Amino acid sequence: MLLKKLHFKNGKKNMIKKLFGKIKNSLLFKGYFEPLILNSLNNFYFNKKIIGSFLDSFNNNHSLYAGLRSKIKPGWQAMLKPENKNKVPSKAELKTNLVGAKRILEDFKRILYSFSVDLKEKNILEIGCHNGMKTYFLGLEDCELVTGSDVSFYYEGQTNNVDSYLNQLRQKTLNLFQEKEKNVIKKKVKFLEDDITKTSIPSNTFDIIASWETLEHITDIDAAFKNMHRILKPNGITFHQYNPFFSLNGGHSLCTLDFLWGHCRLNKNDFLRYIHEFRENEYQLASSFYLNSLNRLTISDLEKASKKNGLEILALVPFVKKAHLSVYQNNFYEQTRQHYPTVQQIDLISPVVWVIQRKV
């Protein structure tokens, strides 16, 4: 039976459910899932042309569908264009993200408020900040300091001269703000090259740690949570929104295959063989991304790692999508579980998971 899993603490269940109901109807979620409208994906999958098949090591024969990859991850081709390697997005391209980033921060503040936490005079760390847009918006709040961190090795292979690229990208993003806002941001925001799994940030530094679409890329979750616990102040809070590996679009642009949930229904050897046979020109980039930039974190693993490292889960919210559920089949789960024993059906049908933790 497929159930939407909601985990809340301390008798705030009804209030927080109401809050999440509002957030799910916000522009953030409408924009995030617009490419996967229910009827569109359903009709596409069951009516599209089969272009081949792939036999895995367990004698499962997978039919391959023309154009399915583009339906799941629109615009994936951009990852492979050499001219995009050092290309910083234009002002117009960056500007289209402003409304979404602002909406994300409003949702973030609302969920913190539901746990009686605000941003006033807080020292905040954003992990995986990339262009710094949300970091800058946080800097405009009534907080004390905001640090945006990222690791350059994640972008290696995707761009040349990573440091220069990130600096240009963040400067161009900063230029989208008004002069008054820029002055405030410059006083309160800084960026740091830092790997949370190996960080040397001093203990008890931050009140809040946040990340968006980053947790799925941290390959050593135990080390990351251990360090988050260490660098948080007593009773400090974390918030993570992430796109799990096991979801329909969890393979991201490079590892989404031509059959549904292919990236997790195959084991490592079969996945690499598939890429070599069908996408030889992508093999180096895709295999590196698959092996080094995507973890295999299930909800069960998340709960265990949180408890092990002294982070109490206040809320754990997988967001199930009808569009994904409509094309889901039970054998997808059975095939995935052969390779990943801790996976549950909820992992496969939840393209977004929110988790809020508190240092204990």
> Is 264 a domain residue?
yes
pLDDT at residue 27, as a whole number: 40
**Model pLDDT for residues 241-282, shown as the tens digit of each residue:** 999 999 999 999 999 999 999 999 999 999 999 999 999 999
> Is 314 a domain residue?
yes
pLDDT at residue 177, as a whole number: 97
| Residues of the chain predicted below pLDDT 70 | 1-47, 83, 85, 154, 156-160
CATH number at residue 22: 3.40.50.150
241-262 as b/e, with b when 16 or more CB fall inside 10 Å? bbbbbbbbbbbbbbbbbbbbbb
pLDDT at residue 262, as a whole number: 98
Instruction: Provide the number of structural domains found in the chain.
Output: 1
Q: Are 140 and 184 in contact (CB under 8 A)?
A: yes
> Residue 239 and residue 111: Cα distance in Å, rounded?
9
**Which residues make Cβ contacts (< 8 Å) with residue 41, sequence separation at least 6?**
71, 323, 324, 326, 327
- In the chain, the N- to C-terminal Cα span, in Å, equals 34
- Ramachandran quadrant class, 232 (left: phi over 0; alpha: psi -120 to 50; beta: rest): beta
> Is 349 a domain residue?
yes
Domain with 98 in it: 7-359
CA-wise closest residue to 86 among 170, 161, 167: 161
> Is 97 a domain residue?
yes
> Is 1 a domain residue?
no
Can you give the pTM of this predicted structure?
0.88
CA 85-176-91 angle, to 5 degrees, is 40
> Is 327 a domain residue?
yes
pLDDT at residue 21, as a whole number: 56
> Residue 86 and residue 164: Cα distance in Å, rounded?
9
pLDDT at residue 78, as a whole number: 87
